[in-house]
Chains A and B, each alone.
Chain A
């Protein structure tokens, strides 16, 4: 069965530092992959998505993600983190009519 894993439950970075959040998937064919962000008490907002083509995907809020088939990964990156990026981040992939979400990574940002 298709699955999405996020190895890091909680990550803390300093404001201005670079960020990489990991996402791994298991899927036979080329997957569709998504990254969502959830601020406390809010719904989920789509950051970016990968369907096909260029493996480096640009998203909103300065985020990007790179699809690496050889590593079954779709890691989310940002070169310089802002305090407002503190949130929960979810990687996701469709499965039939549904979506499979990773367990999420909570990002804390130090001033």
Chain B
């Protein structure tokens, strides 16, 4: 069966520090991968998605970036965090490109920028 992991579960970082959040998927190959952010009390904001290794599409211009170094690994990064980067970050995947499937979500990472 497929599983999706996110690491770390929680993170507290000072303003201006770097960020690296990791998402890995097991039990599938060639997934589409997604990064979302939820600010407190808000809905889901799509940040990045990837349809393959090294292929990243950005939905919102900001100080975050994403990379996909391996088929089932998706990383969210920042060189300098802002206060507004605080939120709940969710990774998700879908399979079988070209076929409509539901998105499967990871457990999330709670990021607090102080």
Contacts and interface: CB of A to CB of B under 8 A. Distances in A.
Contacts of B108: 41-43
Instruction: Sort chain B's interface into a size bin.
Output: 20 to 34
B100 A94 contact: yes
A42 B108 CA distance: 6
A17 interface: no
A32 B100 CA distance: 8
A44 B110 contact: no
Interface stretch (B11-19, B41-49, B60-68, B77-85): B41-49
A46 interface: yes
Contacts of A44: 90, 92, 103, 105
7 contacts: A34-B102, A41-B88, A44-B90, A90-B44, A97-B49, A97-B97, A101-B43
